[in-house]
């Protein structure tokens, strides 16, 4: 399998901290998979994502993208944050196309890419709307489309669905899985919700309460499970993950 990301002996220690937030952590992400990361608040999940994205410099160790060190933010790495970080003074289409505009794509290419993405996230009729007028779920769809606009190698989600109600979150899950399947994407998803981690992850990375120590990465037999199919074996799998987090 082709490795997109290699995290090698990664340690991150923040200034004035006695202990590292990430401690000698190793992880590979291969093309076409979804890795979900679960762990208690403060265990280093977001620090890991931000280091992979190039926002944080490792204290020791390294992150490789296609075999080359990540030295800063890169259009090949897309990120969707919980607060969606959209520009309220721009409409939906301009938010999605913003990164392409900064990379000096011509207008026709931007318009074509934006229209395609609007169709894929089912927001074609909201193209000219300003994002402040949208629901939370719609804003996250815009944020996802914006992250995809640059056609990144990897798209990362930092607890991006935690503020949504259950019904909207389930709709976004379906959007994520449809995009992953139809576009052959690679996703890295940080979450504090165990059921979300199981539904969305081909593999699940469990981070321990002791800061930054990776406990294990497990293959997930319940990827994209339907709620009607949840049984005692699923609950045993879920509880096994839970016992390693608390």
Choosing from 103, 123, 151, the residue where a domain stops is 151
110 and 11 in a single domain? The answer is: no
**CA dist., res. 241 & res. 205, Å (int):** 10
46 and 119 in a single domain? The answer is: no
- For residue range 97-137, list pLDDT tens digits in order: 998 998 999 999 999 999 999 999 999 999 999 988 999 89
User: Residue 3: helix, strand or coil by DSSP?
Assistant: strand
**Mean pLDDT along residues 35-47:** 90
164 and 146 in a single domain? The answer is: no
41 and 26 in a single domain? The answer is: yes
Band the pLDDT of 28: cuts 50, 70, 90.
Answer: very high
46 and 166 in a single domain? The answer is: yes
**CA dist., res. 229 & res. 48, Å (int):** 32
CB-based contact 158:78 (threshold 8 Å): no
Q: DSSP assignment, residue 156?
A: E
59 and 161 in a single domain? The answer is: yes
Choosing from 151, 174, 201, the residue where a domain stops is 151
Its domain, for residue 131, covers 77-151
**CA dist., res. 55 & res. 72, Å (int):** 6
How many domains, in total, are found in the chain? 2
**Mean pLDDT along residues 43-63:** 94
Band the pLDDT of 227: cuts 50, 70, 90.
Answer: confident
Whichever domain contains 35, its CATH number is 3.40.50.300
- What is the pLDDT of the chain when averaged over all its residues? 91
- Beta-sheet strands, E only, within 116-186: 154-158
* Tokens found for residue 159: 């607890």
- For residue range 154-200, list pLDDT tens digits in order: 999 998 887 788 888 999 999 999 999 999 999 999 998 999 999 99
Angle at 184 between CA 121 and CA 66, to 5 degrees: 120
34 and 124 in a single domain? The answer is: no
198 and 140 in a single domain? The answer is: no
181 and 208 in a single domain? The answer is: yes
Q: DSSP assignment, residue 202?
A: S
**Mean pLDDT along residues 36-44:** 89
Q: Which residue has the tokens 């290699």?
A: 6
**CA dist., res. 5 & res. 94, Å (int):** 30
Residues near 194 by Cβ (< 8 Å), separated by ≥ 6? 38, 238, 241, 242, 245
**CA dist., res. 45 & res. 102, Å (int):** 29
90 and 111 in a single domain? The answer is: yes
Choosing from 135, 151, 167, the residue where a domain stops is 151
Q: In what order do the strands lie in the sheet with 203-207?
A: 77-81, 154-158, 187-191, 34-38, 203-207, 214-219
**Strand-pair partners of 204:** 36, 218
124 and 181 in a single domain? The answer is: no
103 and 163 in a single domain? The answer is: no
Look at residue 81 and tell me whether its pLDDT is greater than 90: no
């Amino acid at each position: 399998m082709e490795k997109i990301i290699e995290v090698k002996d990664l340690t991150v220690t923040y200034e004035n901290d006695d202990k590292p937030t990430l401690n000698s952590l190793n992880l590979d992400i291969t093309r076409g998979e979804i890795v979900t990361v679960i762990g208690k608040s403060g265990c280093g999940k977001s620090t890991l994502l931000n280091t992979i994205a190039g926002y944080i410099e490792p204290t020791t160790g390294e992150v490789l993208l296609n075999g080359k060190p990540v030295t800063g933010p890169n259009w090949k790495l897309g990120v969707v944050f919980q607060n969606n970080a959209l520009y309220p003074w721009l409409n939906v289409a301009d938010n999605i196309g913003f990164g392409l505009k900064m990379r000096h794509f011509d207008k026709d290419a931007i318009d074509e890419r934006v229209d395609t993405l609007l169709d894929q996230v089912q927001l074609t009729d909201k193209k000219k709307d300003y994002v402040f007028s949208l629901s939370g779920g719609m804003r996250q769809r815009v944020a996802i489309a914006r992250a995809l606009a640059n056609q990144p190698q990897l798209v990362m989600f930092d607890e991006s669905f935690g503020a949504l109600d259950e019904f909207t979150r389930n709709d976004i899950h379906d959007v994520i899985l449809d995009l992953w399947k139809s576009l052959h994407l690679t996703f890295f998803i940080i979450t504090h919700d165990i059921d979300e981690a199981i539904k969305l992850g081909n593999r699940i990375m469990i981070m321990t309460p002791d800061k930054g120590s990776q406990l294990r990465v497990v293959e997930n037999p319940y990827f994209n499970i339907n709620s009607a199919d949840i049984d005692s074996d699923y609950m045993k799998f879920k509880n096994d993950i839970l016992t390693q987090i608390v």
